[in-house]
Amino acid sequence: MNQILIDRDYCKGCGLCIRACRQGVLAMGKERSKGDYLMPYAAAPEKCVGCGLCELFCPDVCIRVEKKEAGHA
């Protein structure tokens, strides 16, 4: 399963990554960033196909997808 990492130092909670994800992986969470913004989180990480659209659309470059190969832990 791919892992989605969000940098809480820089996330402004704009939600562009949520809208960019065609698989419905991300949702707005209750955790706050260091700037006191609500942050997205991987609500359905099992749906992540590793396309990287969330990374591409993040204006602050604070989301990253670590791709895991099938069969590897």
Number of domains in the chain: 1
The predicted pLDDT at position 69 comes to 74
The H-or-E segment that residue 55 falls in is: helix 53-57
29 in any annotated domain: yes
Residue 24 resides in a domain: yes
30 lies in which domain range?
Answer: 3-66
User: At 47, which CATH number?
Assistant: 3.30.70.20
pLDDT at res. 48: 96
pTM of the model: 0.88
Q: Is residue 71 part of a domain?
A: no
Token code pair at residue 33 = 């960033």
At a CB cut-off of 8 Å and minimum separation 6, what does 67 contact? 2, 50
pLDDT tens per residue, the chain (73 residues)? 899 999 999 999 999 999 999 999 999 999 999 999 999 999 999 999 999 999 999 999 999 999 987 665 5
- Tell me how far apart the alpha carbons of residues 3 and 48 are, in angstroms, rounded to a whole number: 8
Tokens of 14: 């704009």
